[in-house]
Amino acid sequence: MILDAGVLALIGSSGMYAGATLASVGLGNQILTNWDIASGSELQIRLERRTYLVSSLISLALSIQILSLFLFVWTAERLHTLFVGVMCAAGTLNVNPFGYPTLVLKLSNSVFSSLWLLINHVDQMAPDYPLIKPKYRMLRWLALSLVLEATLQTSYFLQMKPHLIASCCGALFGADARDQGAVWASMTPRTGKILFFLQLALLTRLGIGILMKGKGASPFSVLSSVLLVFSLWAIVSYISVYFYELPTHHCPFCLLQTDYNYVGYALYLPLFAAGIFGIGVGFLDRYKGLPSLKGKIPHLQRKLVILSLAGYLLFAAISSYPMVFSDFSIED
């Protein structure tokens, strides 16, 4: 497995961005201890110069980490032909105990990497770098998480055994699945549709409140994160079934295959973007009272609200298409 191009790219990139963030912690510790924007000392000038370079490098590294999430899923999907009984990425991720933990950690790190990029962008919008200490505190924890991600991912690929018999999506996400798979596939379509569109309507109402009055950022952020998780549940439970036109097929990964026109990418990309933008609205709210950011953060929050709502509405439109225009139906 180690000689596969996708595997090599993932292992190499994870070592790069984990190493880069871990190395930056040293500068972060100096900044947390010695940063004083009002000082004209030689140390302060040196820190200001170094933070420009380090912030640029970390921004590049974390951007690669976010992209690696999609490369990881794509690689897992492509490698499924090497394992007996495996039809998609669901089975590939199940060939050893490290697959799904790696995926979950990469998802989590992608969210926090996006939030770090957001806080870094806002910090550079003000001349006094008001968020430089919060962003380097956040980088400490992110660096450790990225090191853990790189370790899990490397263990996952190194312990792959070709021609191993593994359970695939039917056993993992079917109605008769055990453990968490059965829970993910259990929600009825009627319940899912009602809950999804109620949440989307409420999120839209909160978004309009932010756009008109600048209030409600924290509830918007919380509901956006809830809707993100619920949408993933809905994909497994009933949305995927409409695309497959097979009541027993609940796999969230087969949607990424050519047989279904790669519609999974059209679903997941706007969904994850919408969730991250929505979470970012509340994440920035705690800093909008800072003098140098008073006029900047509210403007950025409104942009994030629009992008988040656009992503969720696009996801809703794509996921609803087969329900509206297909003759296939599911009896609750």
Which residues on adjacent β-strands are paired with residue 69? none
Joined together, the tokens standing for residue 272 give 């994850």
| Mean pLDDT of each 10-residue bin along the chain, 332 residues long | 79 91 82 74 76 86 94 89 77 86 95 94 86 88 94 92 65 57 66 90 95 91 94 88 83 86 92 95 90 88 96 95 80 52
Q: Are 82 and 6 in contact (CB under 8 A)?
A: no
Beta carbons within 10 angstroms of residue 262's beta carbon = 12
Joined together, the tokens standing for residue 213 give 């009055």
Q: What is the pLDDT of residue 86?
A: 75
**Of the candidates 75, 107, 109, 110, which has an alpha carbon nearest to the alpha carbon of residue 92?**
75
Q: What is the pLDDT of residue 226?
A: 95
Joined together, the tokens standing for residue 27 give 């500068």
Concatenated DSSP letters of 45-107? HHHHHHHHHHHHHHHHHHHHHHHHHHHHHHHHHHGGGGSBT--SHHHHTTSSTTHHHHHHHHH
Q: What is the pLDDT of residue 60?
A: 92
Q: What is the pLDDT of residue 221?
A: 95
**Of the candidates 108, 111, 99, 112, which has an alpha carbon nearest to the alpha carbon of residue 72?**
99
Place of tokens 């961005």: 17
What's the length of the chain? 332
Q: Are 276 and 219 in contact (CB under 8 A)?
A: no
**Of the candidates 219, 215, 193, which has an alpha carbon nearest to the alpha carbon of residue 330?**
193
The ranges assigned to domains in the chain are 5-158, 175-325
Q: What is the pLDDT of residue 247?
A: 79
Q: How far apart, in whole angstroms, are the C-alpha atoms of residue 199 and residue 224?
A: 9
Q: What is the pLDDT of residue 79?
A: 85
Residue 295 CB contacts under 8 Å (≥ 6 apart), including other chains: none
Residue 114: CA atoms inside 13 Å, Cβ hemisphere, count?
A: 22
**Of the candidates 217, 204, 187, 165, which has an alpha carbon nearest to the alpha carbon of residue 332?**
187
Joined together, the tokens standing for residue 106 give 């990469």
**Of the candidates 329, 318, 330, which has an alpha carbon nearest to the alpha carbon of residue 262?**
318
Joined together, the tokens standing for residue 193 give 């549709």
Q: What is the pLDDT of residue 73?
A: 92
Q: Are 142 and 116 in contact (CB under 8 A)?
A: yes
